[in-house]
Structure 1
Amino acid sequence: MLDEPLQPMRAFDLYVALGDSMSTDDHPGPGLGTASLLYRNQDRVFPEFAGCDLLALNSATRLLHLARDGFTALDVMEGLDRLEPCSGPVLVTLTIGGNDSIHYLNQRTPTSIAMAELTSRLSRILGQVRRLYPDLTLRMGNIYDPTDGSGRVQSGHDHFAAALHMLGGVNRLLGQVASMHGGRIVDVYSHFLGHGTRHADSTCPHYHPEDPTGWIIRDIEPNSRGASELRRLFWSSLD
C-alpha cells in the first residue's frame, strides 16, 4: 500500500470525470483508465493502491464519467448539460488540451487565436462546474510529451514535433485557468518525462534507470501503467 497521508483525506459524495482519453478506459482497458482507477482500484493489477481509492474514503461515492476519447474543450463544454447537481462535497477532474492542440495545428490556427479560444472555453467549463458544485475540489491535469522531447512518436513519424512548440504554452494556460477558478494543476508533464518514446534509451536526458518503463501506447495514449500513474498524481493531489 501507499504511505499513509499526513492527515485524513476528504471523502466525496460525487466524482465527476471530464475530458479526453487521458481519463478513459479506451486504451488502458476496462476498469483500468485513470478515472476508473481513482474511483475503484483494481487490487489484483495494482496492489500498491489497495484501499487507496475514492470508494475507500466513502463507499457511497457516485461516479459520473463524462470523459471521452478524442474530446476537445469544445466537446466538454457542449456536454455540460449532463452534469448532475450535488450540494455535498464533489471532486471534479479534467484532462484536456492535447486534442485541442492537434486540432489547432491541423487547422493552422494562429497561436494567439488558439490560446484565446481555449482560455474562453475552459473558463466557461470551470465557471459552470463551480456554479453547480458549491463544495468543489477541482483538479486539472496538464499534458504529457509522449516523445520525451524528441518530436518522434512510437510509430516513427515526427508530425508531433510541431505540437511541442505549443505544449509549453498550453500547459501554462491550463495552470493559469485552474488557479483562476480555485483549482489545482496536476503536473503530468514532469512525471511522464522519460516514459514516452525514449523510455528505453539510456542516452535520453530524462531516462529513469530505476524504472525504464513506457507509459504510452498508440503514439499518444496512456497504457495501463500510464493511466495508473495519472491516477497516482490525482490521488496524491487530494492529500
Structure 2
Amino acid sequence: MNSTDANATADDSSAAPRKSSLRKRLVVLFTIGLLLSGGVGFYVYFWLTHPIGSGPASPAVAAEKFDEVWSERPVVLLGFGDSITAGFGASPGKSFFKRLLNNPDDEFADVQGITLKKVLPNIEGNNIALSGSTSIEMVDILLPKLETYPEETFGIIVASIGGNDVIHMYGRTPPREGAMYGATMEQAQPWIENYDQRLTSILDEIASHFPGGYHIFLMNIYDPTDGIGDVFNAGLPAWSDALQVHGAYNEVIEQTCEERADTTLVDIHEEFKGHGIHSTQFWRPFYHSEDPGYWYFDNLEDPNDRGYDSIRRLMLNRMADVLPGKL
C-alpha cells in the first residue's frame, strides 16, 4: 500500500465516528425538541385551556316533584344580590333567575317544562340584583328598593351576597373592607365579623317586606381555582390567604343558614368544584370525568350558560324540598 492509500484509509476511519457522533447529536436534539413541545402542549391544555363542554349541567332535577301545583296563591320571586343573581354573562333568557320562571327555546330535554310557573301559576318575578355590588352597597342601594308586599303574597328570595367583598379590587388597590383582595387573615378578621352582622341585618330587612310569608335561598361563594388557591394562574396577583378569607366568608353564610329556619343554603361552592380553571386536570380528586366542562364566564367572576344552568338546577331541587310544605 502506498502512502496515498494509507492516508485515504485514515481519513475514512476518522469520518465514520464524526458522522455517528453527528447522528447522535441530532437524535438527542430531536428528542429534546419533542419533549419540550410535548411539555408546552401539556401545560397549555391542562393549565391554559378551558373547554366549556355542552349539554345539561349537573345536578339532575327531581322532575316528579314538579308534577303537581304547589299553590295557587300569589307568589313573587325576588332576586337580590350581585351579578350572579343579576345574570351577568348569561345569554338572553339563560340566567338562573329567568330559567327558574321560563324555559328558553332550546331548553334541555331533562328539564323541559320544569319551572316555578308550572307549580306556582300565580308567580311573578322581580330581580333587583346589581352587578358588582358588595354587601355594603346592597345595604345602601338595594334594600331601599324593596317594596312591601300584601299579606296574601308569598315571597321566594334568591340571593348572592358577599362574593364581591372578597374579590374586589383584584389587587389593584390596598385591601379594605368591601374590597379585601390581597388581605391577610389578620387584616380581614374584623371585616369578616362585620359581614356576619351585616348579612343577618340584610336578611332580616328582606323578611320584613313579606308579612304573608317567605323563604330565602342563599348561595355561598364558589371558587374558580377549585380549592387550590392559585389565582395567579387565572391572571390575578398572588394572594397567600385567599382560601382562608374565602372560607371564612362561606362559614358565615353556612352558619347563618343553619341558624335561620327561613333561609336555605344553595351550595354552589361544592357543585362548581372541578369546573374551574383546573377542570381538565384528570389527576385531581375533584375531576369530573363525565363532564370536565368549565362553568365560568370570561371575567372569571360569573358563571357562563352552563354554570347558570347548574345554579338553576340546584335552586329547583332546594325549592322542591322546602316550598311545598311552606305553601
TM-score, normalised to structure 1's length?
0.90
1:16 corresponds to 2:16: no
Q: Deviations over 1:156-215 (max 9, x none)?
A: 445466422212111110012233342111111111110011111111220000111110
Q: 1:139 is matched with which residue: 211, 217, 225?
A: 217
Q: Contact 1:10/1:238 (CA < 8 Å) preserved in 2?
A: no
Give the Cα separation in 2 of the matches to 1:6 and 1:67.
27
Give the Cα separation in 2 of the matches to 1:51 and 1:9.
13
Query: Corresponding residue for 2:269?
Result: 189
TM-aligned CA deviation for residue 45 of structure 1: 3.6
Q: Which moved more, 1:6-15 or 1:114-123?
A: 6-15
One-letter code aligned to 1:141: M
Cα distance change, pair 10–137 in 1 and its aligned pair in 2 (3 A): farther
TM-aligned CA deviation for residue 48 of structure 1: 2.5
Give the Cα separation in 2 of the matches to 1:28 and 1:187.
20
Q: Contact 2:69/2:118 (CA < 8 Å) preserved in 1?
A: no
Give the Cα separation in 1 of the matches to 2:146 and 2:183.
30
* Aligned residue-pair number: 239
One-letter code aligned to 2:64: E
Query: Corresponding residue for 2:180?
Result: 104
Query: Corresponding residue for 1:81?
Result: 144
Q: Which moved more, 1:8-17 or 1:87-96?
A: 8-17
Query: Corresponding residue for 2:198?
Result: 121
One-letter code aligned to 1:152: D
- The 5 A counterparts of 1:1-239 are 2=61, 3-5=63-65, 8=68, 10-11=70-71, 13-78=75-140, 79-86=142-149, 87=151, 88-102=153-167, 103-105=179-181, 110-134=187-211, 135-153=213-231, 155-157=234-236, 159=238, 162-181=241-260, 182-217=262-297, 218-239=299-320
Q: Which moved more, 1:197-206 or 1:174-183?
A: 174-183
Of structures 1 and 2, the larger Rg is shown by 2
One-letter code aligned to 2:223: D
Identity between Structure 1 and Structure 2 (%): 27
Q: Deviations over 1:49-104 (max 9, x none)?
A: 22111222233311110112111112222221211222221100111221111212
Higher helix share goes to which structure? Answer: 2
TM-aligned CA deviation for residue 43 of structure 1: 4.3
TM-aligned CA deviation for residue 8 of structure 1: 5.0
RMSD of equivalent CA atoms: 2.3
Q: Contact 2:182/2:241 (CA < 8 Å) preserved in 1?
A: no
In structure 2, the gaps of 5 or more residues are 1-59, 168-178, 321-327
TM-score, normalised to structure 2's length?
0.67
One-letter code aligned to 2:300: D
